[in-house]
Amino acid sequence: MPRFRYEAVTNTGTSVTNTEEADSRADLVAKLKVRGYWPTMIEQSEASPDDSKKSRPSTSIDSNTSNPVITAGTLTSQLAQLTVQKVKPAEVEFFTYQMATLVNSHIPLVRSLDITLSQINNVQLQNIIEQIKYDVEHGSTLADALSQHPKQFSDLYVSMIRAGEASGVLGEVMSRLAEFAERQRNLTNEVISALFYPLILMAMSVSAIAVLMVFVVPKFTAMFETMGGNSLPGATQVLISIADFTSSYWWAVLGGGVISILLGRQFSKTADGERFFDRLKLKLPIFGKVFSNFAIVRFTRTMATLLENGVVLVPALNVAKDTVGNRIYSDAITKASEQIEGGSTLAHELDGSGVFPDMVVHMISIGEESGSPEQMLGKLSDYYDVEVRKTLERVTGSLGPLVILVMGLVIGFIAVAMILPIFEASSMIGG
């Protein structure tokens, strides 16, 4: 495919010079007009595609090179890439805050990227921003440049940036993006923190009971056998049977547990498995409401943010369905998006899904009737954000004592089952 060198003028009046592959000059003109570029000069370039690729920063190893020469330098470079830092969401959030501040201060986009680049410590993110800067310098839009890195910049991020560029409010959009990411991160951290303490208590309880059953109870079993197994209290006989099974078949219990976890994880990676576990999450007696409200917060906040920034309804739904974190809600949103394209309304389709509360449906319906669904979605996200926090406080406050109570009952049963025969033997000797 031939490569052409072109000069063009963008909608903002900026001159752009770049090279690009195309089937013909007419094909290149069509591509440029789609991006909003108006070519003033096009000539066929003699530079090969490989030469142009060399000038672009890259964070990956070129696996298409035939007959590669392996040297100490290339091995060192590949090892360095294998051990490179991962880009954390918090680092992308910080980058977004910096860019929002600079763009809102009317600093040109390329200069803003250059300044931000000097503030980043993560080598991987530095390389990505260098690529983005290179692409923008050579005529790409910021959204198109970001879309080349989907692991770091989600569809939601790219869609909002594209809407911001089109409407001329990029700085404001980036500020909203940063705030959105911060609120999502804080909410996720609160959920994890709230569940951490009960899970630690449960792990300690299981460990304590396992130690008693494997190491302590068997020592009493030998003594109880001399007293006559049939004369032991029923509770003691049950405890000894459980301890014998645990001591003799611990490997089967452990192996079965590990195999069950591995099979469960493998099943959860399939579409049916993901639906099964996500539906199970929603039906849990204590945590089900937390998972449900958490998905609603993500959906309403994402939709409000996208609609406020000029993204139309159906594309916004297609982005939002991938952010809710629950396949049941995602399927409902996907179905709603398909029906809306046929003329239905969002409120009607969410009502028919059976997974969204009446309050969500009614407020979205009012928003659609008034022509401002984004305002109602924003209020819903704030409401359910508070609901998630309140529910987490109640769960944390009640689950900890509940775990301690169950642990006390089990250990109490073990203690009573071991002490009862001793008391009976003492009373028989005393009698």
Q: Which residues of the chain have pLDDT under 70?
A: 9-15, 26, 40, 45-85, 167, 225-230, 425, 427-431
Tokens at 310, concatenated: 């000029």
Instruction: Give the number of other CB atoms < 10 A from CB of residue 21.
Output: 14
CA atoms of 418 and 232, how far apart (whole Å) = 10
For residue 284, which amino acid is it? Answer: L
CATH 3.90.320, applies to 1-55: no
DSSP annotation of 138: T
d(CA 34, CA 56): 23
Distance CA 190, CA 387 (A): 13
User: Structurally, what CATH architecture does the domain formed by 89-182 represent?
Assistant: Up-down Bundle (1.20)
This prediction's pTM: 0.62
Closest by Cα among 323, 377, 344, 332 to 156? 323
Separation CA 397–CA 413 (nearest Å): 25
pLDDT at position 65 is 40
The dihedral formed by the CA atoms of 223, 226, 229 and 232, expressed in degrees to the nearest 10: -60
Instruction: Measure the CA–CA gap between 40 and 131, rounded to whole angstroms.
Output: 26
The single residue listed with the structure tokens 């976890």 is 261
Buried b (16+ CB within 10 A) or exposed e, 186-219: ebeebbeebbeebeebeeebeeeeeebbeeebee
What pLDDT does residue 422 have? 77
In tens, the pLDDT along 349-372 reads 999 988 999 999 999 999 999 888
pLDDT for the residue numbered 154 = 83
What confidence score (pLDDT) does residue 393 get? Answer: 80
What DSSP assignment string belongs to 200-247? Answer: HHHHHHHHHHHHIIIIIHHHHHHHHHHT-GGGS-HHHHHHHHHHHHHH
In angstroms, the CA 380 to CA 304 distance is 9
Phi, psi for residue 12 in degrees, rounded to 5 = -90, 0
Domain coordinates in residue numbering, the chain: 1-55, 89-182, 185-431
Nearest of 314, 292, 289 to residue 303 by alpha carbon: 314
The closest of 164, 101, 163, 98 to 125, measured between CA atoms, is: 98
Helices (H) and strands (E) in the chain, counts: 19, 3
For domain 185-431, give the fold.
Receptor-associated Protein (1.20.81)
Residue 246 has a pLDDT of 78
Query: According to the model, what pLDDT value does residue 12 have?
Result: 60
pLDDT of residue 71: 45
In this chain, the answer to whether the domains covering 89-182 and 185-431 adopt an identical fold is yes
Q: Which of 31, 35, 36, 43 is nearest to 4 (CA)?
A: 43
Interatomic CA distance for residues 295 and 301, integer angstroms: 10
